[in-house]
């Protein structure tokens, strides 16, 4: 048995509104963006592999880049 059928009906109606996107339809968005303001197309560009590699390179500090640059052996040094 349900102790409070009125509260149960209110909860059920609330869940139905959420399930049917009642508030999404009642208050349509002007632009299709995320909470950060980025559009779906921008997200796809950002998540592309090439862009991720570029961003990882940009995140490296100056010391790390210099270390990688000078630690890489040159081809003429290998032949000696």
pLDDT at 18: 93
pLDDT at 65: 75
- For 12-48, the pLDDT digits (tens) are 999 999 999 998 899 887 777 677 777 778 777 777 7
Residue 77 belongs to some domain of the structure:
no
- Tell which residue, 61, 63, 79, has the closest CA to residue 71: 63
Beta-strand ranges (E) seen in the chain are: none
Residue 26 belongs to some domain of the structure:
yes
Is residue 76's pLDDT more than 70? no
Residue 78 belongs to some domain of the structure:
no
Residue 17 belongs to some domain of the structure:
yes
pLDDT at 71: 81
Cα→Cα distances 21→3, 17, 31, 35, 43, Å: 29, 6, 17, 18, 24
Residue 68 belongs to some domain of the structure:
yes
Give the total number of structural domains in the chain: 1
Residue 42 belongs to some domain of the structure:
yes
Q: Provide the residue range defining the domain that includes 30.
A: 5-72
For 32, the 3-state DSSP assignment is: coil
pTM over 0.75: no
Residue 80 belongs to some domain of the structure:
no
Residue 79 belongs to some domain of the structure:
no
Return the H-helix or E-strand segment holding 67. Answer: helix 62-71
């Amino acid at each position: 048995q349900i102790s409070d059928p009125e509260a149960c009906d209110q909860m059920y109606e609330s869940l139905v509104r959420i399930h049917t996107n009642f508030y999404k339809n009642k208050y349509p968005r002007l632009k299709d963006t995320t909470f950060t303001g980025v559009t779906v197309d921008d997200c796809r560009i950002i998540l592309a592999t090439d862009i991720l590699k570029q961003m990882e390179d940009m995140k490296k500090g100056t010391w790390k880049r210099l270390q990688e640059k000078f630690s890489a052996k040159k081809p003429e040094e290998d032949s000696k």
